Amino acid sequence: MLYATLKVLITSILVVAVSETARRSSLLGALLASLPLVSVLAFIWLYIDTGDTEKIASLARGIFWLVLPSLVLFLALPFLLRQGIGFYPSLGLSIALTAGAYLVMTFILGRFGIAV
């Protein structure tokens, strides 16, 4: 139980650090958010939990392929906001477009025999 609490605490601190940094500097907040810190933490937690490097390699490969459709969010959100659409509708639509991009990407990867 202590281990799970520690994982949640460390991961939560990371999210708060990004939002607090972004309030002070968009550039530094973006830099911190763009670092694959959550992925690195996931690798560490998975290794501690399983010791299985093949699972970590598989996770890393899956993250690589699924980062690509996640970029839709970062293109759609600022575009929609600059079109005068409110924050929450823009965020919702951006999330929906990103979910669609994930579905398309997993379909394409499946057609090429790439498992994620």
The proportion of the chain whose per-residue pLDDT surpasses 70, expressed as a percent, equals 100
- For 38, the enclosing helix (H) or strand (E) is helix 37-50
Q: Which residue has the higher pLDDT, 31 or 72?
A: 72
Model confidence pLDDT, tens digit, residues 71-90:
999 999 999 999 999 999 99
Q: Would 89 be classed as within a structural domain? A: yes
Q: Would 32 be classed as within a structural domain? A: no
Q: Would 25 be classed as within a structural domain? A: no
Integer Cα distance of 79 and 47 in angstroms: 39
The mean pLDDT value of the chain amounts to 93
Averaged pLDDT for residues 25-49:
90
Averaged pLDDT for residues 18-42:
89
Number of compact structural domains in the chain:
1
Integer Cα distance of 68 and 71 in angstroms: 6
Q: Give the per-residue pLDDT at 31.
A: 87
The identity of residue 105, as a single letter, is: M
Burial profile 15-28: b = 16 or more Cβ within 10 angstroms, e = fewer = eeebeebbeeeeee
pTM for this entry: 0.78
| φ/ψ (deg, to 5) at 52 | -95, 100
Question: Which range marks the domain in which residue 84 is found?
Answer: 52-116
| φ/ψ (deg, to 5) at 94 | -65, -40
